[in-house]
Amino acid sequence: GAVVSQHPSRVICKSGTSVKIECRSLDFQATTMFWYRQFPKQSLMLMATSNEGSKATYEQGVEKDKFLINHASLTLSTLTVTSAHPEDSSFYICSAESEGPANYEQYFGPGTRLTVT
Amino acid sequence: AQKVTQAQTEISVVEKEDVTLDCVYETRDTTYYLFWYKQPPSGELVFLIRRNSFDEQNEISGRYSWNFQKSTSSFNFTITASQVVDSAVYFCALSEVFIQGAQKLVFGQGTRLTINP
C-alpha cells in the first residue's frame, strides 16, 4: 500500500524559533497534500490544502504567514511553523492523495508531535 | 457546511462485549464519502473503511461491521466480541469531492473506546 512519511516524528523547540515538518509520499506521486492539526484529546482540524506547484489554500482562521506550506514536488510538502509559541504545541498530521482504482485515495502520515517550550 | 457528530465521547466496555459507535453527518452534497479511522495511542491514523454515498450496503470485515443509512444520515460502526487491542480513539469523517478529486475531510470529535479485560 501507499506510504506517507513525516519527519521529524517529534520535535521540541524554544519559543520564537521556527520548525519545519516534512511530509513525503514514498511510493506514489501526490498532486494534493493536506495538513491537519490535532490538539490533545481533540479531533483533527484541516489547516490547509497543498497543491504541487501552487500556493496552498488555508482554512479559515489559519494564519498563512505563520504556517508556511511549500509543495515543491509531487512527493514532498513542508510545513514551517514560524516564530513558534507554546500554543502551537500540537500533533501535526499530513495526508497525501493519489489517484487509485476506486477514485482518489488519501493516505495519512504518522504525525509529528511539536512541543514549544 | 459539512458536519460530523460523534455524540459518544467515551465508551468503556468489558472485553468480548459488542459495542457500537455512532456517527451522524450533515452535508448538502449528493456525492460524498464517509470514513472511519482508528487512532491508537501512537497517534497514527489507521484507515478502516470508506463508503461512497451511493452505496448503502452494510459492510462486514471480521469483527467489524458498518451500518450506513442515508435516511437518518448515519454511519455507525460496530465491533463484535471486543478485544483489549480495540482500545483507541475512533473517528468518523466525511469528505466532499472536488472536481480535481481532492477530498477535504471533516472529522467528528472522536469516540475514545476502552476495552477492559
pLDDT digit string, tens, across residues B63-103: 999 999 999 999 999 999 999 999 999 999 998 766 555 67
Over residues B30-47, the pLDDT tens digits come to 889 999 999 999 999 999
Q: What is the chain B residue with the closest CA to A99?
A: B101
Q: Give the nearest partner residue to B102 out of A91, A97, A110, using CB atoms.
A: A97
Is B74 near chain A, with CB under 8 Å? no
What is chain A's mean pLDDT, rounded? 92
Mutation pick from A106, A108, A115 vs chain B, by most beta carbons of B within 10 Å, is A106
Instruction: Pick B43's closest partner by Cβ from A97, A99, A111.
Output: A111
Distance, CA of A35 to CA of A42 (rounded, Å):
16
Cell numbers that stand for B48 in this block:
478502516
Q: Which three cell numbers stand for residue A35?
A: 495538513
Asked if residues B20 and B39 have their Cβ atoms less than 8 Å apart, the reply is: no
Spell out which residues of chain B touch residue A111, defining contact as CB-CB under 8 Å: 43-45
pLDDT at residue B62 in the model: 95
Which residues of chain B make contact with A93, given a CB cutoff of 8 A? 43, 45
With beta carbons under 8 A apart, name residues in chain B contacting A91.
43
Per the model's pLDDT, the better-predicted residue between B77 and B51 turns out to be B77
Q: What is the pLDDT of residue B102?
A: 62
pLDDT band at B104 (very low <50, low <70, confident <90, very high): confident
Burial status of residue A82 (CB atoms within 10 A of its CB: 0-12, 13-18, 19 or more):
middle
CB of B42 less than 8 A from some CB of A: yes
Residues of chain A with pLDDT under 70: 100-104
pLDDT at A53: 81
The reported pLDDT for the residue numbered B101 is: 59
The set of cell numbers assigned to B97 is 469531492
